[in-house]
Chain A
Amino acid sequence: MTARIETPAQALADPACRRALVELLYQLADDDLALGHRDSEWMGLAPHIEEDVAFASIAQDEVGHANAYYALLVDLGEAESADALAYGRSPGEWRCAVLLERPNGPGHYLKDPQFDWGYTIARHYLYDLFEMVRLEALMESAYLPLAQLAAKVRREERYHLLHMETWVKRLARHSSVSRARLQAGLEKAWVDLYGLFSLGPEGPAMAALGLLPGGRDRLWQTWRERAQALFAEAGLPWPGDPSPVMLDGRAGQHSADLEALLATMTEVYRLDPAARW
């Protein structure tokens, strides 16, 4: 039985707990912000106008969730503001999985973007299912403010998952072209997939302290079971268990893609981080 932690002060009182909790919150926030940012690069370019509008809500939700997780970090004394955490850290301080920092496709959002809807849907589905499984675990977290937030975030994530599942099924079943595009996207995402389930060096403590009940094993098993069910329903072959990745984003190891992402995201902020924007 793990102890319930009701306030930031209680979490800060135990250094081991503080360390694990802070790492967990960075993972949650950075995952959502990295993907929300990538989603936002689709704005105005999506394949269908109604989809452009719907996808823009998903982008906002992800950024909104990141904002809420950063606020919990601010409560734990990590920074003065969520913005300082979102905009003020170097790539080595980021804890997102590498999968989420990858671009939407070749090109740049401002110049000659050749974004890949097959990869976009594949990556988003794999992550949204992971997020749903993680949120379900977090709703039982020993850290009460996080458990409460997870319950709220989960409601918006239900729509994301429904949205992505609908697309996956549609692409998988429609034609050989769309199926090939989706499968190529899944293959590409699969290369980075293992890193999603890494919880970094503090992973065992997150599970042991009940901050993320069940830890990595629960996430992986639940995720695989549900993903396999959808793959079967969509008639997609199961690509097999993912191989370990070279870069563990949870340990601060990132690709050049995160550097590029942050260079874009912080371009205006860096003009004057102390200014009010």
Chain B
Amino acid sequence: MAEERLEYHIYEVFAQESQMAPAVHQFSLLASSPDMALILAKENFLRRQKAWSVWVVRRDHIHRTGPEEAEMFDRLDKSYRETEGYRYLKEKWRRYKHEPLTTQTMT
């Protein structure tokens, strides 16, 4: 009986430092299955840093924009939706003898 040849795939490796942390891309590796990719990922890329969870995704399952699309992420001024656009409120509240509330001071 002929052995079935396993195909190697490129896996992209992501790791979360803690349960609340985002998964951050580390690097890629070659493996013949997802479970193999997982055990290889740990010693290849997480020998020193702290990790809580590691993800592997086959590169051909990832869809991405290319360099020619990069400029569509450029934005014109959006200060109307940024806190910097509302700095003047600090001065206003001071005139009313109050500190402005922030999400930190409220929670």
Spell out A's residues near B (CB within 8 Å).
60-61, 64-65, 68, 152-153, 155-156, 158-159, 162
Contacts and interface: CB of A to CB of B under 8 A. Distances in A.
B4 interface: no
Contacts of B77: 64
A158 B71 CA distance: 8
Contacts of B72: 155-156, 158-159, 162
Contacts of B69: 158, 162
12 contacts: A64-B76, A64-B77, A64-B78, A65-B76, A68-B76, A155-B71, A155-B72, A156-B74, A156-B75, A156-B76, A158-B69, A159-B72
Interface in B1-58: none
A151 to B, nearest CB: 10
B71 A153 contact: no
A148 to B, nearest CB: 12
Given A64-B77, A152-B74, A156-B74, 19 more contacts: A60-B78, A61-B76, A64-B76, A64-B78, A65-B76, A68-B76, A152-B76, A153-B76, A155-B71, A155-B72, A155-B74, A155-B76, A156-B72, A156-B75, A156-B76, A158-B71, A159-B72, A162-B69, A162-B72
A64 B76 CA distance: 8
Interface residues of B, number: 8
A68 B78 CA distance: 12
A65 B77 CA distance: 10
Contacts of A64: 76-78
A155 B68 CA distance: 11
Contacts of B74: 152, 155-156
B72 to A, nearest CB: 4
Nearest to A157: B72
Contacts of A158: 69, 71-72
B80 to A, nearest CB: 8
Q: Which are the 9 A-B pairs with shortest beta-carbon distances?
A: A159-B72, A158-B72, A155-B74, A155-B71, A64-B76, A152-B76, A156-B76, A155-B72, A158-B71
A65 B78 CA distance: 11
A61 B80 CA distance: 12
Which of A61, A159, A162 is packed against the most chain B CB atoms within 10 Å?
A159
A65 B71 CA distance: 17
Contacts of A65: 76
B64 to A, nearest CB: 14
A65 B72 CA distance: 15
Contacts of A155: 71-72, 74, 76
Interface in B68-103: 69, 71-72, 74-78
Contacts of B71: 155, 158
Which of A65, A158, A162 is packed against the most chain B CB atoms within 10 Å?
A158
A156 B78 CA distance: 12
A61 B77 CA distance: 10
A194 B78 CA distance: 33
Contacts of A68: 76
Nearest to A152: B76
A204 B33 CA distance: 65
A159 B72 CA distance: 5
B8 to A, nearest CB: 33
Nearest to A156: B76
A162 B71 CA distance: 12
Nearest to A61: B76
